[in-house]
A and B are shown apart, each in its own frame.
Chain A
């Protein structure tokens, strides 16, 4: 089901896109540095005494990983529109193999930001975490990108190549703002906080934050994200079956 040749092909294509690198790698790094300068040195006003640098690092990592995973899947719409998908249907690559390749490449292209934002945080802002905390803030966030790769695939299956770019950007903004990735969730009014707890983006950032401030339990994060994964995976599979039955 997993074609290495296809996966490598997809990864190379995506990593070659300047727009992709700017939005999913450069922006999160630049914003990390910017937010760190603005808020990072504020005296922690909470009991736990969290270092804002690490919170901003986690949020920017989550934002970049989410965008990368979403972007990659959403490109399915472009390939459906252009007819390249039709050409691929005339090769031994199955529909499942195609979607798996796209999904996995979405996770693959989320790796650079997951590595680079923490690196920049360590070198420029002197962020220090324990080994276990680092695993949660990097590997944890990376795995939390799975539902977003699926969400991207679903958008790619439903949207058209014209509508895709605006839909994806809009969704990224909504997920980022309401999920507390850009603005710390504590600053948002209570009703928005409640809304955030439904969104996978909130739980994605909490995977990292649970390592530094125990705002939410890691097990709750895992559970909510697993539910999102199952629901989105189911929708992708359902849509795929409809598409193939249409023939």
Chain B
């Protein structure tokens, strides 16, 4: 069977409405609304305790929400899981140590009505060479890829991954995302939680930032950067006056370190133009976009100040 030809479900992939969950006095998820369209690759980003894992648990039907609705391709979470519409890779789910990789993946495949061939899944997950190895003897990265294979073998339309690349080294991480690409190229939907910002930047179409159980930003990687006042202008300017710099159009903050100045801008173009006109001696001009990490920090710290 050519897996690329498998019809992909239509309709909304994920709909979360007014999702809430509290554990005792701790509000883990505090009103999350999220709609994900089929084919989107969404990164769920946030510090520990932001509510990412609880949101994922509710999405998968592992935890019942106190309030709100969850639907996965129009199905209740449990039904979506039973029908193999959603495949998932959890953070701390172990493997049966006494079974081989091929046995585990084959067994999970046998539970599904329309599984992918085990050999195909092992290849795509990059674990063909350890297929007959017992799970107890796998490295951290191999374990993760085996768990990825388990999530994949049911041929799901939606993959949900909770911090999939923890315990992987750089090359394993790279390989992992290559196999993910193969999956998403077929128009499948992916939601992954991560705290590796570069992964979100590189692999997601869309980034959802969570903090304190709420979504604090949601958009494309570019839009999220924008939201945190996107760019920085750096230049060499001896004897600069910080206050005059800060007053330039499009500048939100300025700093001076010796001859080097740094302007944090909402409109870098306007700021650069004004800088060169008002200070003709400014040179070595450099405009750079703030990384997602900086945007992330800016957004979350903004929340903290409120």
Chain A residues proximal to chain B, CB less than 8 Å:
3-6, 8-9, 12-13, 16-17, 79, 82-84, 86-87, 89-94, 247
Contact = CB atoms under 8 A, between A and B. Distances in A.
Contacts, number: 76
Nearest to A89: B62
Given A92-B81, A92-B154, 9 more contacts: A3-B111, A5-B111, A12-B103, A83-B90, A84-B95, A87-B95, A90-B87, A92-B83, A247-B61
B63 A247 contact: yes
A72 to B, nearest CB: 13
Interface in B81-133: 81-84, 86-88, 90, 92-96, 98-99, 103-104, 106-113
Contact of B110 (A3, A94, A247): A3
Which 3 interchain pairs have the tightest Cβ spacing? Answer: A5-B110, A82-B94, A87-B93
B60 interface: yes
B171 to A, nearest CB: 25
B283 to A, nearest CB: 58
A28 to B, nearest CB: 22
A131 B158 CA distance: 58
A94 B62 contact: no
B147 interface: yes
B110 A83 contact: no
Nearest to B109: A5
B103 A9 contact: yes
Given A86-B62, A92-B83, A13 B111 contact: no
B13 interface: no
Contacts of A89: 62, 81
Contacts of B109: 5
Nearest to A91: B111
Contact of A6 (B62, B82, B111, B150): B111
Interface string B271-285: 000000000000000
B70 to A, nearest CB: 12
A247 B64 contact: yes
B93 A86 contact: yes
Contacts of B90: 83, 86-87, 90
Contacts of A13: 96, 98-99, 103
B275 to A, nearest CB: 55
Contacts of B95: 84, 87
A87 B98 contact: no
A83 B93 contact: yes
Contacts of A91: 81, 84, 108, 111-112, 150, 154
A93 B111 contact: yes
Contact of A5 (B81, B82, B83, B107): B107
Contacts of A87: 90, 93-95, 147, 150
B99 A12 contact: yes
A83 B94 contact: yes
A79 B99 CA distance: 13
Given A12-B103, A84-B95, A92 B64 contact: no
Contacts of B107: 5-6, 8-9
Nearest to A97: B111
A81 B153 CA distance: 24
5 contacts: A9-B110, A86-B93, A87-B150, A90-B62, A91-B150
Q: Which interface residue of A79, A89, A90 has the most chain B CB atoms within 10 A?
A: A90
Contacts of B106: 5, 9
A115 to B, nearest CB: 23
Contacts of A84: 93-96
Contacts of B112: 91-92
A247 B94 CA distance: 19
Contacts of A79: 96
A12 B90 CA distance: 25
Contacts of A94: 82
A222 to B, nearest CB: 35
Contacts of B154: 91-92
Contact of A90 (B81, B94, B103): B81
Contacts of B147: 87
A69 to B, nearest CB: 18
A90 B110 CA distance: 14
A246 to B, nearest CB: 9
Contacts of B111: 3, 5-6, 91-93
Contacts of A5: 106-107, 109-111
Q: Which interface residue of A6, A82, A86 has the most chain B CB atoms within 10 A?
A: A86
